[in-house]
Amino acid sequence: MTLDFDLPPVRGTLTENRSLAELTWMRVGGPADVLFQPADADDLAEFLAALDPVVPVFAMGVGSNLIVRDGGIRGVVIRLGRGFNGIEVDGTEVRAGAAALDAHVARRAAENGVNLTFLRTIPGSIGGAVRMNAGCYGEYVSDYLRSVDVIHRNGRRETLPAEALNLRYRQSDLAEGAVIVGAVFDGVAGDPDALAAKMDAQLQKRDETQPTKDRTAGSTFRNPVGYSSTGQADDSHDLKAWKVIDDAGMRGATRGGAIMNVKHSNFLTNAGGATAADLEGLGEDVRKKVYDSSGITLEWEIMRVGEPASDFQD
């Protein structure tokens, strides 16, 4: 494959035609035209400023909530690494790089007597957690986020207050092509030993109820908002996605190497040899069956990006 755009000089690493499958938890997907691993924020800003503005860019974290389609991703995929994984704690303020793992941030905060324990069981890194307003146990990024550092598609750097992201259930507003490089949280003071015990209990509960040893990308679908347990519209209740999947008879459903996990039916799983098309296709099968049986339209929580294999010409 020959690129039809020029690449500016960098201090980090540029790799053409880079397979992305091994960079995602699902272990599926085609190549990126270019994978860029910047050395630091200056390197990223200078690259974006010099890159032809018509070239699309996509920022990915550790691939924990992502399906890359079999045809891969056109343009430049940006993956932040060691230059973006710092964690600093000052009082109850926690500053974390976008590549810092959520679990590491929770542990470091707890060691310093700051409660951000909800992050402990969330897979992925801080950049993705902010973008998706990740949460569990009734707490969300939006409850603690103070500000984010971003680099826009034109290379301009900006610190945005949390309010500018309009964080809501599994969603945020961020300018096209902007890359989150860091975030600042206001935690709550707590006893380090008590916080550590709380996180241990959370991990035990997660391992008992979720298929943590399997190849999944976390929860597949968002919980339907505004429905009662009977599936009727009711703004005072929220229904669980696994419940409507079970009611539709789709727990354990398969397509190719993909399966809706038997342990937790809202976990789409690569059971071995699945393609991205298998996984996404099974997800769509589930959405159709749930709609046919309950009238509820499930919304994807997993991000699906790139092109089908048939659309990619090497």
- Name the residues annotated as catalytic: 170, 219, 301
- Adjacent-strand bridge partners of 19: 31
CA angle 84, 90, 91 (to 5 degrees): 145
Sign of CA dihedral 109, 110, 113, 114: positive
Spatial contact of 195 and 113, defined as CB atoms under 8 Å apart: yes
Take residue 183 and report the two structure tokens written for it: 């975030």
Q: Spell out the alpha helix ranges (H) of the chain.
A: 41-50, 102-111, 126-131, 192-209, 241-247, 276-294
β-pairing verdict for 57-60 and 13-19: unpaired
How far apart (Å, rounded) are the C-alpha atoms in residues 239 and 224? 5
CB atoms within 10 A of CB 123: 21
DSSP conformation letters of 254-284 = EETTEEE-SS-TT-EEE-SS--HHHHHHHHH
Between CA 146 and CA 110 the distance in angstroms is 18
DSSP 14-61: EEEEEE-GGGSTT----EEEEEEE-SSHHHHHHHHHHS-TTS-EEEE-
> 97: helix, coil or strand?
strand
SS3 assignment, position 127: helix
Token pair 């020959």 is found at 2
Q: Which residue in this structure is represented by tokens 């971003």? A: 150
